[in-house]
Structure 1
Amino acid sequence: MNWITITWPMVAAACLTLGLIELSIALGQPRRAARLLFALSAGTVACVSGLELALMRTNVLAEWWALMRLLDIAVGVMLVSLTAFIWMYFGNGRKWLAVAVPVLYALGLAFDYLPGAPAGSGMTYQTVAGFRTVETFGGVRFHMAEGVPNPWNVFPYLAVLAQIAFVTDASVRWTRSGGDRRPVVVGGAIAFFFLCAGLQAGLVETGVLDMPYMISWAYLAVLMAMSIELNADVLAGARLASQLRESERRMDLASAAADLGMWTWDVGHDTIWATSRARAMFGFSESEHINRARFFGALHRDDREPTKQALDDALASDVGYDVEYRAHLPEGRIRWIAARGQVERGHRGEPILMRGVVLDISARRDTELELQRLHSELAHASRVSMMGQLASALAHELSQPLGAILRNTEAAELFIEQDPPDLDELRAILVDIRHDDQRAGAVIARLRALLKRRSFAPRVLSLSDELANVAALARSESLSRKVALEIDAAPELPLVMRDPVHLQQVLLNLVLNAMDAVEDLPTARRKITVRVQRHSEGEIEVAIEDSGPGIAPESLERLFEPFFTTKANGMGIGLSISQTIIEAHGGRIWAENNAGEGATFRFTLPLAGAAR
């Protein structure tokens, strides 16, 4: 074993080592084309080193020609890959110079494969006369070919010159643009490599130097420059990692203080990074790997599809990710979580990352449920109070059918005592009794529906039918107060998806308020009109118009505030509850003074097909 046998494999090993490092880095980065090209050039130079060693050891002409053709191909691959690397690395340079490199080299390489080329000839030599043995220092001997140089060999050297010009131009452009000096070092090393390698190969092929090809040795300058660049990247990465760890600690402290959890989803690799606070919200351990499937597995099954839809919408468009869902904790508890996020996209618009925050809203949800329960209690109390106002009128409403039933029963007893009984009259009496019983039953059913404590239960209904029910409930009150109540509904009104009891409560409250507004007027002017018509493409408007004195301007904006009232004995909760009910149905409610006399309360309701 001699120094040649040791050093050329060492050069090949160095090339392969750095090439594999660059390859592993490239495979872990989104933008990896430049590093992949450099890894290709390093691997090719390792092959060049092996071919150089094999050429020194052979003195068989056929074997030497086969090795030379392989060397010519390997040098061409190395030349093109380094040119492409510089193009990607700097992002500039003259395109015609970059294209000239492979074109010129291909012209020379074509001679190796021309059908009419003489036997025993190639791109380097027209003919090879033989081999001679050269002894170098240390008494080491190697073989060198002797032959007539081929004129076609000028094209590879022109390609080398074009490559040197391209690299130099790209480096100068980079410097003038104010870029970092480190890439210029790499460009300078590549230009130096081609200059030395081309010069040494030319002197060997013309017989000026008695030494083997040392193209791979010249490449060591590029390896050194890339090693410096890699070390700088490693040091910068280490500093960045330290800064990121410190930033993460600060972020954890800040998010813990704000009770927020932070997360980042790498869409391409399907990995989710989360702060300690975010992991604790879902019951994930600090070391547990989180991906999309694991995240959805932690959600309540009823919330998975809406959350998936919100996530897909955020990935497909620029809409933000904003959703609330329940998470199942390992101990069996359920936690309400609000999540917000935004997508980051690549240069082609594809989603790359999604960053966001999560907030534990369980306490807020519990408070909302409690408020909802209290509101339901208050609405029920309001209905009971409203029935108190209608008590006397409803008693009169019930007394009429009950009195009629009593009188019909007494008349039936008289007809039965006749001999023979008048069956036709008895049948007519029974029909009247059934009708009066149904009237009384309808009044009781409406009262029971309004007085019953119940939750919000929307269903498809006809607004005309609900107006008829409300008119029936308020008829006795309007008669006792001598108020003209008129229902003006547009024909063929579309259906709405609403809770009938809550809707009746709103209508009754507004109608009774209108009666209060006109009670001090002369009987002839006491008038209330309930109008229903299409408001827009997807809404119906209900208007309750009275002929009273109107609403004072200073009170108009405060009417729907809780516990604000313009009545001497009012509680100030009826309009507030009505507003809550209408908004829960997806509509809105407001009041305004009429152009002439009186005021009008209006509210809108979405149609059944447009219900929110």
Structure 2
Amino acid sequence: MQSSFSVLTMLWSMCAAACFMLGMIQVMTWYQRKWKTAYLLSFSMAIAATLIALFELSMMFATDVERYQVLFSLHAFCIFFVLLSLVLFARSYLGHGSQWILVPIIVLWPIQVLANTLFPEGPLYLNVLQIERVETYWGESFTFARIETSPMKYLTDTTTALIMIYLMQSAWAGWRHGMRQRAIVVGGGSMLFIVIAGIHTPLVDAGLVRTPYMISFAFMPILASLTYQFVSEAERDRTDLQRMRREMERLSRIGMLGEVAAGIAHELNQPLTAILSNAQAARRFLELENPDLDEVRDIVNDIIADDKRAGGVIHGLRAMFNRDETLPGAARVNDAIRVVSKILIGELRSNKVKLETELAKNLPAVIGDEVQIQQVLMNLILNAMHAMSDAPDHARRIVVRTVPAGGEVLISVADTGPGISAEALPRLFEPFYTMQKKDGLGVGLAICSRIVERHGGRIWAENNSDVGAIFKFTLPIKRDTDEKPA
């Protein structure tokens, strides 16, 4: 008894499923890459290749000439569609190609498709004369047709030759313009498909090779290589985007450094002046005939203390402005606030702004990077300071609070400025949106939002009930940590 298992059905079904799966990957890429035409054309080719495989499978089991003729016409239509889409894809994806070759292809190819669809005995093939069953070497049979070709088929062959020339010329132009990998995939893959299909298909038409049509198998490597190329490009773009974001964050920190440079210079000047004065005093004591060593020892201790004070400021700056990579772990929010307060104290004094902190005791550590949390805090405090630039000196006040809130820590930065307009509130965290009158790029709050969200938290803004605005953000508490509360 003959087995019901069909190798032919399995192979062509697998080919159709593979083409469809590759098409789904490509349509997702099309959606992610901002709806670019090249990816949509590639997806349409994948769907057409899926239909080609299914039509080839159906033709193998057709039982009468009429059914075979209909399937054969639909098969030819899908091939026309794939080749025209391939030409348009090369034009869109590589951005190069001769219009003198492209225009005849676009004109001739649809005419042949229309004629072949409207007339059963169209210009491509006159008629399917008869069908017969051919047995494979493993014992399975399939339908094989004797076809009478038309002299008009040479028009199709000419158009196919123009397509080959266009694809080669487009790939070569792309290669010369630096798109070498794209050129290899499009040019090499297309030529391989056309050569294999162009040799095998005429031999089957002439009856010299008694096998099923295998155009779908010839086209599948193109789809696979294009999908791999699309995914690789998307991954490279994602890596480049992450690198650009990290660089933007670093440049934002450097920009803040320039903004607070005067205050930092003031903070460093005080310990350095004290060190100089103490050193001069110690030298005078040592020049005495009987110096008081206890007094000299106290002076040296003062010098050490002032040096540590200056070193602390410099250490905080180095940590904040020279790091690019995120080091996940346990961060102590209260410590981050204290560091930022020390860095900004000179800038706040010069702008006559009073900074107050209300930090919760025994605050648990949060998940994240302390330097990036410092960056968020510094952005919010500087924004609050700028918001109060028109307020009276005695009314300029910033309050930074921390409180535990369930499984999170809530941090807030409140000011006594004019508040935020209803129009501006929904757009505060959009890139390049700023309310500053001058020198505002509008990237600070957008970066703050991205950092907080990357840490698993939320950030928002609202107006105070009396005066000013308040920015709040949350960070998740780190569980099972050995970190001591801040």
Q: TM-score range by the shorter chain?
A: 0.5 to 0.7
Shift of the alpha carbon at 1:594?
A: 1.4
Shift of the alpha carbon at 1:362?
A: 3.7
Moved more, 410-419 or 399-408: 410-419
The 1:370/1:484 distance shift into structure 2, 3 A limit, reads same
TM-score, with normalisation over the residues of structure 1?
0.43
**1:584 paired residue number:** 454
1:220-262 Cα distance to aligned partner (Å, 9 max, x none): xxxxxxxxxxx9xx7xx57x9876665444333333434479x
Pair member with larger Rg:
1
**1:451 paired residue number:** 321
In structure 2, which of residues 459, 466, 470 is the aligned counterpart of residue 600 of structure 1?
470
In structure 2, which of residues 426, 438, 462 is the aligned counterpart of residue 557 of structure 1?
426
In structure 1, which of residues 479, 482, 493 is the aligned counterpart of residue 349 of structure 2?
479
**2:20 paired residue number:** 254
Q: Secondary structure at the match of 1:457?
A: coil
Q: Secondary structure at the match of 1:475?
A: helix
1:194-234 Cα distance to aligned partner (Å, 9 max, x none): xxxxxxxxxxxxxxxxxxxxxxxxxxxxxxxxxxxxx9xx7
Q: Match for 1:566: what amino acid?
A: M
The separation in 1 between residues aligned to 2:15 and 2:301, in whole angstroms, is 85
Q: Match for 1:554: what amino acid?
A: E
**2:246 paired residue number:** 376
The separation in 2 between residues aligned to 1:534 and 1:452, in whole angstroms, is 31
Uncovered stretches (5+) of structure 2, i.e. residues with no partner? 28-45, 47-226, 482-486
The separation in 2 between residues aligned to 1:466 and 1:584, in whole angstroms, is 18
Q: Match for 2:335: what amino acid?
A: D
**1:399 paired residue number:** 269
Q: Match for 1:465: what amino acid?
A: D
More strand by share: 1
1:356-377 Cα distance to aligned partner (Å, 9 max, x none): xxx8644333222211111111
**1:566 paired residue number:** 435
How do 1:309-320 and structure 2 match up within 5 A?
A: none
**1:73 paired residue number:** none
1:516 and 2:386 are equivalent in the alignment: yes
Q: Match for 2:418: what amino acid?
A: P
Shift of the alpha carbon at 1:516?
A: 0.5
TM-score, with normalisation over the residues of structure 2?
0.54
The 1:458/1:257 distance shift into structure 2, 3 A limit, reads closer
How do 1:6-155 and structure 2 match up within 5 A?
A: none
How do 1:292-331 and structure 2 match up within 5 A?
A: none
Q: Secondary structure at the match of 2:435?
A: coil
Q: Match for 1:526: what amino acid?
A: R
How do 1:142-541 and structure 2 match up within 5 A?
A: 237=4, 247-259=13-25, 361-536=231-406, 538-541=407-410
Shift of the alpha carbon at 1:449?
A: 1.1
Q: Match for 1:527: what amino acid?
A: R
Q: Match for 1:377: what amino acid?
A: E
1:106-155 Cα distance to aligned partner (Å, 9 max, x none): xxxxxxxxxxxxxxxxxxxxxxxxxxxxxxxxxxxxxxxxxxxxxxxxxx
Q: Secondary structure at the match of 1:561?
A: coil
The separation in 1 between residues aligned to 2:251 and 2:325, in whole angstroms, is 14
1:171-195 Cα distance to aligned partner (Å, 9 max, x none): xxxxxxxxxxxxxxxxxxxxxxxxx
Report percent identity of matched pairs. Answer: 42
The 1:531/1:520 distance shift into structure 2, 3 A limit, reads same
Higher RCO (C-alpha under 8 Å, 6+ residues apart): 2
Shift of the alpha carbon at 1:453?
A: 3.4
Decide whether the 8 Å contact of 2:333 with 2:373 is kept in 1: no
The separation in 2 between residues aligned to 1:247 and 1:416, in whole angstroms, is 97
Q: Secondary structure at the match of 2:462?
A: strand
Q: Secondary structure at the match of 1:608?
A: coil
The 1:249/1:415 distance shift into structure 2, 3 A limit, reads closer
Shift of the alpha carbon at 1:491?
A: 1.3
**2:415 paired residue number:** 546
The separation in 2 between residues aligned to 1:411 and 1:256, in whole angstroms, is 80
Shift of the alpha carbon at 1:610?
A: 8.3
Shift of the alpha carbon at 1:561?
A: 1.0
Decide whether the 8 Å contact of 2:332 with 2:370 is kept in 1: no
- Aligned pair count reads 280
Find runs of 4+ consecutive structure 1 residues off by over 6 angstroms: 240-244
The separation in 2 between residues aligned to 1:545 and 1:400, in whole angstroms, is 29
Shift of the alpha carbon at 1:470?
A: 1.1
Q: Match for 1:390: what amino acid?
A: V
Shift of the alpha carbon at 1:591?
A: 1.0
The separation in 2 between residues aligned to 1:253 and 1:610, in whole angstroms, is 48
